[in-house]
């Protein structure tokens, strides 16, 4: 018997192919954002994407690495742009890209970051520039609050009354024809991308399933509208594209179930009881911090013990 270090099973899968598949999965959300928010979304996506790639190259140069294309920087830039309001000035996503790539990623060493880079950039901007980050527009260009903001301010019944019926509200949120961050409003196109990633086995189905499932159960427990909470805010883009990040989430199957459950529970608690209308970004980041503990608790027993 030959004894050698792991890994003992090799796969032909490459990081570049995984990056390409994630980018393809994000294309429907990108196209939807441009359709709904027109030039504001397009300029925001382009500026954020170019900024993230440029910061990545600068960090490579500072660390004396050989300059190379990094697909993760493209994904970080895309994700960051999709969770930003379309109304912000274009210098703001540049700052967000610097924080996401330089601080959240390279400060820990490539591949060793603790927190999801795009969410770190989003939280930094939300805390540092709360006024600019809290202004949204509807698809017709008029300033308006997001559904979660409207519920926080006026209550759920008033929100439904503005749309006539619950069914009209659900349909609007499913399609994406409402105020919100440029790439998180359309549940339909995010689901298309998320299901594509699951079918291609790029992500594990456990995290999105238990994330969305725990949100539904928590909404039921607190007598909230389940469909509203599932389709509101950044839940869908977080469940499929951020909570499933390889580096910042558990590596064990049981750990991923716990991670998804924790994200869902914290999301609903923050939405109901915190001063923020949305709880997704804080929920995922808190569970990112708990990932080493979860991995330790769910570590499989070595063969023979």
| 150 Cβ neighbours under 8 A, 6+ residues apart | 158, 159, 162
Task: Give domain status of residue 142, yes or no.
Answer: no
Over the stretch 157-214, which tens digit does the pLDDT of each residue have? 988 998 888 999 999 999 998 888 999 999 999 999 999 999 999 999 999 999 999 9
In a domain, 10, yes or no: no
Indicate whether 146 belongs to any domain.
no
C-alpha 90/C-alpha 203 separation (Å) is: 32
Q: Round the average pLDDT of the chain to a whole number and report it.
A: 90
Q: Is residue 305 part of a domain?
A: no
User: What are the φ and ψ backbone dihedral angles of 137, each rounded to 5 degrees?
Assistant: -130, 150
| Residue 8 placed within a domain | no
From the list 86, 122, 131, the residue with the least C-alpha distance to 104 is 122
Specify if 87 maps to a domain: yes
Tally of domains in the chain: 1
Q: What is the pLDDT of residue 154?
A: 86
Can you give the pLDDT at residue 302?
Answer: 77
- pLDDT band at residue 6 under the 50/70/90 scheme: low
pLDDT digits 0-9 by tens, 96-140? 999 999 999 988 887 788 999 999 999 999 999 999 998 888 766
pLDDT band at 9 (very low <50, low <70, confident <90, very high): low
pLDDT at 63: 82
Q: What is the pLDDT of residue 84?
A: 95
Residues 6 or more apart whose CB falls under 8 angstroms from that of 264 comprise 210, 211, 212, 213, 214, 215, 217, 218, 283
pLDDT tens digit sequence for 254-290? 999 999 999 999 999 999 998 888 899 999 999 999 9
Q: How far is CA 26 from CA 38, 49, 80, 190, 298, in A?
A: 17, 13, 12, 8, 31
pTM over 0.85: yes
CA distances to 1, 3, 112, 251, 285 from 7, in Å: 16, 12, 19, 15, 29
Angle at 57 between CA 53 and CA 60, to 5 degrees: 140
Place 64 in a pLDDT band, splitting at 50, 70 and 90: confident
**DSSP state at residue 299:** P
Among 18-32, 188-202, 249-263, 290-304, the minimum mean pLDDT is found in 290-304
What tens digit of pLDDT does each residue of 65-91 get? 777 777 889 999 999 999 999 999 999
Q: Which residue has the higher pLDDT, 86 or 15?
A: 86
Q: Which domain holds residue 161?
A: 15-137+153-295
User: Helix 206-221 crosses helix 253-273 at what angle (to 10 degrees)?
Assistant: 40
1 in a domain, yes or no?
Answer: no
Q: What is the CATH number of the domain that holds 84?
A: 1.10.3430
CA distances from 161 to 22, 158, 185 (A): 38, 5, 20
Q: In the prediction, which pLDDT does 261 show?
A: 97
Longest alpha-carbon distance in the chain: 72
H-helix segments, the chain: 15-62, 71-82, 91-98, 117-128, 147-154, 156-163, 166-175, 187-199, 206-221, 226-231, 235-237, 253-273, 280-297
Asked, for residue 99, whether it belongs to a domain, the answer is yes
């Amino acid at each position: 018997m030959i004894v050698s270090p792991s890994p003992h099973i090799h796969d032909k899968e490459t990081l570049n192919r995984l990056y390409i598949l994630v980018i393809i999965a994000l294309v429907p959300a990108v196209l939807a954002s441009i359709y709904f928010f027109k030039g504001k979304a397009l300029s925001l996506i382009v500026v954020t994407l170019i900024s993230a790639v440029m910061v990545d190259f600068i960090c490579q140069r500072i660390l004396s690495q050989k300059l190379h294309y990094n697909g993760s920087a493209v994904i970080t830039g895309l994700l960051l742009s999709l969770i930003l309001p379309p109304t912000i000035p274009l210098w703001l996503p540049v700052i967000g890209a610097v924080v996401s790539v330089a601080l959240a990623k390279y400060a820990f060493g490539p591949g060793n970051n603790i927190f999801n880079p795009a969410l770190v950039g989003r939280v930094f901007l939300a805390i540092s520039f709360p006024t600019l980050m809290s202004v949204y527009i509807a698809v017709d260009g008029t300033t308006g609050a997001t559904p979660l903001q409207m519920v926080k301010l006026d209550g759920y019944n008033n929100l439904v009354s503005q749309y006539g019926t619950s069914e009209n509200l659900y349909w609007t949120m499913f399609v994406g024809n409402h105020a919100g961050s440029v790439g998180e409003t359309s549940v339909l196109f995010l689901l298309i991308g998320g299901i594509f990633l699951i079918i291609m086995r790029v992500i594990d189905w456990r995290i999105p399933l238990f994330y969305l499932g725990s949100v539904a159960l928590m909404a039921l427990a607190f007598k909230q509208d389940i469909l509203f909470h599932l389709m509101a805010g950044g839940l869908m883009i977080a469940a499929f594209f951020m909570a499933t990040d390889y580096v910042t989430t558990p590596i064990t199957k049981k750990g991923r179930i716990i991670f998804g459950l924790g994200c869902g529970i914290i999301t609903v608690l923050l939405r109901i009881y915190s001063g923020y209308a949305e709880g997704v970004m804080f929920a995922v980041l808190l569970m990112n911090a708990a990932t080493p503990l979860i991995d330790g608790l769910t570590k499989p027993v070595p063969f023979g013990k």
